[in-house]
Amino acid sequence: MTNVLVTGGAGYIGSHACKALRAAGYTPVTFDNLVTGWEDAVKFGPFEKGDLLDRARIDEVFAKYAPIAVMHFAALSQVGESMQVPGKYWRNNVVGSLNLIEAAVAADCHNFVFSSTCATYGDQDNVVLDENSAQHPINAYGASKRAIEDILRDFEASNGLNHVIFRYFNVAGADPEAEVGEHHQPETHLIPLMLDAIDGKRDALTIFGTDYETPDGTCIRDYVHVCDLVDAHVLGLKWLEKDKGSRVFNLGTGSGFSVREVIDHSRAVTNRAVPFNEGARRPGDCTKLVSGSTRAEQELGWTPTRSTLQTMIADAWKWHQTGHYDK
């Protein structure tokens, strides 16, 4: 049995990763404190409830399953909240990750896949963001993820911890079979909020800022389908298993869409009106975050197949309509 420890496996991206790992012949062992995750999303392998701030509990799980690798998704990830309560982000994300990294090394598990973010780059207008771009995060969420990247580099030097860092752009969509999908509480992300507004489950969507220096005044993001994203993780794991050393990869498609463009596509996909109003900027938001790298395609052989806005919104809409979202 080839166990992979998946922290945050009960969350949005982690649960999709568990499905992809299972399909690739691994056994995903979910470690999750269920603060933002859902036990009913753990469908593809064993579940161990635990918190990354509890080192003894992490050690127990390593001893029980002897995983060949860790995929570390567990984190607090709301940009806006991170600006209001930064201590929560530094403690949970950074201290929790440090515990996990030390436990992995102590258990002789030297393959580590880390979920990082393009928020580590910060606002760099008109700069093509590739893996060598400077990292100047403008919010505590991005800063906490950058710090974890630094910790991984130090542990590679000191303990031979091989790692793949994935810097995600905007993850969207859902499992096309709708076994798992996006379910945040509270929800802060654009597409699920918009789908809620479309079918009247929530008030109108508020566009956060219409005075950005972009063609239509709204922020531009690079959206990537969650299934494509987790496929890259399986490829990253195989990379580590081949002892190819540590590497950073952006995961985005290189296409940027504004908030207004996402609204227009949602109208077309769902054939329903999108109620929205225009509001103030949200603190911590960058004007434009679009990947300018094809390293993942070239070096991992990653081929995104579902990352068109049309497919991402259609898959998210299908999941939304299962009603899971309302529980």
The 249-278 contact track toward ligand UDP, x by CB under 6 A, reads ----------x-------------------
Nearer to ligand UDP, 131 or 196 (CB): 196
Distance CA 2, CA 231 (A): 17
- The answer to whether the CB of 172 falls within 8 A of the CB of 223 is yes
Catalytic-residue membership of 141: yes
- 205 contributes a contact to ligand UDP by CB under 6 A: yes
Q: Please, how many CA atoms are within 13 Å of residue 318, restricted to the half-sphere of its CB?
A: 14
Residue 113 DSSP SS3: strand
Interface residue with ligand UDP among 193, 195, 232, 263 (CB under 6 A) is: 193
Q: Which residues of 89-104 are buried (b: 16+ CB within 10 A; e: fewer)?
A: bbebbbebbbbbbbbb
Nearer to ligand UDP, 100 or 205 (CB): 205
Nearer to ligand UDP, 188 or 310 (CB): 188
Total residues at interface with ligand UDP (CB under 6 A): 15
Which amino acid would we find at residue 261? E
The 105-134 contact track toward ligand UDP, x by CB under 6 A, reads ------------------------------
Tokens for 193, please give them. Answer: 């909020």
- The answer to whether the CB of 195 falls within 8 A of the CB of 278 is no
The 15-54 contact track toward ligand UDP, x by CB under 6 A, reads ----------------------------------------
- 206 contributes a contact to ligand UDP by CB under 6 A: yes
- 183 contributes a contact to ligand UDP by CB under 6 A: no
Q: At its nearest, how many Å lie between ligand UDP and the CB of residue 289?
A: 7
In degrees, to the nearest 5, what angle opens at C-alpha 238 toward C-alphas 61 and 95? 40
H/E element holding 153? Answer: helix 140-159
Pick the stretch among 4-12, 185-193, 297-305, 311-319 that binds ligand UDP (CB under 6 A): 185-193
In degrees, to the nearest 5, what angle opens at C-alpha 26 toward C-alphas 319 and 57? 90
Given the residues 121, 141, 212, 325, the one annotated as active site: 141
- 285 contributes a contact to ligand UDP by CB under 6 A: yes
Q: At its nearest, how many Å lie between ligand UDP and the CB of residue 127?
A: 17
- The answer to whether the CB of 197 falls within 8 A of the CB of 205 is yes
Ramachandran angles phi, psi of 32, nearest 5°: -155, 140
Interface residue with ligand UDP among 72, 110, 221, 324 (CB under 6 A) is: 221
- 190 contributes a contact to ligand UDP by CB under 6 A: yes
H/E element holding 23? Answer: helix 12-23
Q: Assess whether the previous peptide bond of 186 is cis (omega < 30° from 0).
A: yes
The 157-176 contact track toward ligand UDP, x by CB under 6 A, reads -------------x------
Distance CA 275, CA 67 (A): 47
Interface with ligand UDP by CB under 6 A: which residues? Answer: 79, 170, 188-190, 193, 205-208, 219, 221, 259, 282, 285
Q: Which residues are catalytic?
A: 141
